Structure 1
Amino acid sequence: MKLAVLTDVHGNAPALKAVLAEIDAQSDIDHIYCAGDMIGIGPYSNEVLSMLFSRPDVSMVTGNHDEAVLSLLLGETYPVSHHASKEHHHWIAEHLDSAYIPMLKHLPRMIQQTTEGHSLLVNHYHIKPSKLLDPICLDPFSTIIEPTLPAIASLFKEYEAELIIFGYHHPVHFFKNKQTIYLNPGSLGCSKNASAPYAIIDMRTENLHIHLKEAAYDKASFLASYDRLQVPDREFILKAFHGAST
């Protein structure tokens, strides 16, 4: 069995389309896991959610941006920690097809399962077990830490799995010790290169084999859409998340 892993699509439909095309071209990928933040930052929420929710081979968990936007749509308390993103999230919420609201609402924060004898945990980022049911306004996701094996292993010490998949922090994380592989394939939608990172996991042998991949796409056209669509906070977003000069 082979799996594909992606995370932090962030409303970047062209990048997601390129990754899904590569995955489908391989023909032997059995399932796709998405570790949250499908929406927010990029402008193509509906297109991204259409691509993901329409596929029976995709499992998703929610991320902080998904949940912050949902809090606005559901009339719940918006997280104070996300205050700088509130105007942008309002714009995302206003343009979101309402059909996706219940779909997002019913996604889990964590997937734990055993596949082909290998135990997996998929989450957007670490949440203490005591905070798993906390609303986003209480900031259940742990603070991003230094991407090193000792730090990540300590962060996830309450959870046991052969493979822990996560996102949130946009650079690639690929660490392993004797017990666990910790994998963040990197933000698919916010890479500073003209390519979208993802990973393939080969489970056909006793040991898991991880292959880090990148799919090329027309990033210049995507970035131009921020001005065309008048996305709020676009100057900051283009510089901070896409490495573009403004």
Structure 2
Amino acid sequence: MKSYAIITDIHGNASALAAVLEDIKQRKADHIFCLGDMVGIGPDSNEVMSMLLETQNVSYVLGNHELAVAAAFRGEDPPLGHHNERAHHQWLADRIDKHYIEFITDLPKKIIYEVLGYTFYFAHYHLDMTDHYLTIEKNPSIEQLDSFYSSSDYDLVCFGHHHVIHHLTSDRRVYFNPGSLGCNHKPIARYGFVEVSESGINVESIQIPYDNTDFLNSYERRKVPDREFILKIFHGV
């Protein structure tokens, strides 16, 4: 049997990530797949990237907030849909270590992984044939997803982007989004755990409680741009 942790949408929340990494360690996962948006929204970009890169056996895909922060760092135009968030991303870009910009710039948009006769697909969000992000509704149906992936032979499709949990199973494959690790209206960090054996694939959504007090207070302490809006929309404060 093989086991895999699926983390996504950490969004600059080092406290939540620390709680999840400790739980993953206790469960002895064989590998971690990180599905993007490690940075952005939360102020802890350097702390999050440091923790991730100090963790062994992690594979990464690129998220839209990595694209936005990297573009701000290089003085390039924001990615499509991120113009209104430029001040926030510029604030992060002005504080992030250059080494981390170099790291995220080289990340792939997808990973295809094979184990025990199964094929897994990992991406931050659904991509077209030219690897551009597609706009699909926040809560797609099984029929919509099956139609989109009809030409593929994936047994498990894992993604993030929308912060809600998706766990849908059709007669073709399993679709799984474990939900945002770092953005929640409660002091809970979410991730996914996948166990694979020759007899099948088991997918579990896991919620880890943690103390988010200092993290939430850090928005005001560090004068994060748009902090009132971010705290209300993404953390329910």
Stretches of structure 1 that go unaligned for 5 or more consecutive residues are 133-139
Cα distance 1:93–1:125, how it changes in 2: closer, same or farther (>3 A)? same
- Tell me, yes or no, if structure 1 residue 36 matches structure 2 residue 36: yes
Q: How far apart in 2 are the matches of 1:227 and 1:163?
A: 40
Tell me what 2:102 maps to: 102
- Tell me, yes or no, if structure 1 residue 218 matches structure 2 residue 211: yes
Stretches of structure 2 that go unaligned for 5 or more consecutive residues are none
Tell me what 1:17 maps to: 18
Q: How far apart in 2 are the matches of 1:97 and 1:232?
A: 19
TM-score normalised to structure 2 length: 0.95
Q: How far apart in 1 are the matches of 2:151 and 2:224?
A: 39
2:133 to 134, 137, 141: 141
- 8 Å CA contact 1:70–1:105 kept in 2: the answer is yes
Residue identity in the other structure for 2:4: L
* 1:128 to partner: Cα distance: 0.6
Sequence identity (%)? 41
- 8 Å CA contact 1:145–1:152 kept in 2: the answer is no
Cα distance 1:226–1:157, how it changes in 2: closer, same or farther (>3 A)? farther
Tell me what 2:27 maps to: 26
Larger displacement relative to structure 2 (153-162 or 217-226): 153-162
Larger displacement relative to structure 2 (217-226 or 231-240): 217-226
**RMSD over equivalenced CA pairs, Å:** 1.3
Aligned length: 235
Tell me what 1:3 maps to: 4
- 8 Å CA contact 2:116–2:198 kept in 1: the answer is no
- 8 Å CA contact 1:144–1:169 kept in 2: the answer is no
Cα distance 1:153–1:146, how it changes in 2: closer, same or farther (>3 A)? farther
* 1:191 to partner: Cα distance: 1.6
Cα distance 1:67–1:217, how it changes in 2: closer, same or farther (>3 A)? same
Tell me what 2:202 maps to: 209
Residue identity in the other structure for 2:83: H
Q: How far apart in 1 are the matches of 2:122 and 2:44?
A: 24
- Per-residue deviation, residues 107-165 of structure 1 (Å, max 9, x unmatched): 111001201221011000011112x2xxxxxxx31124141222333343454310011
Q: How far apart in 1 are the matches of 2:84 and 2:180?
A: 21
Tell me what 1:191 maps to: 184
SS in 1 for 2:98: coil
- Tell me, yes or no, if structure 1 residue 179 matches structure 2 residue 172: yes
Residue identity in the other structure for 1:192: H
TM-score normalised to structure 1 length: 0.91
Tell me what 1:137 maps to: none
- 8 Å CA contact 1:126–1:156 kept in 2: the answer is no
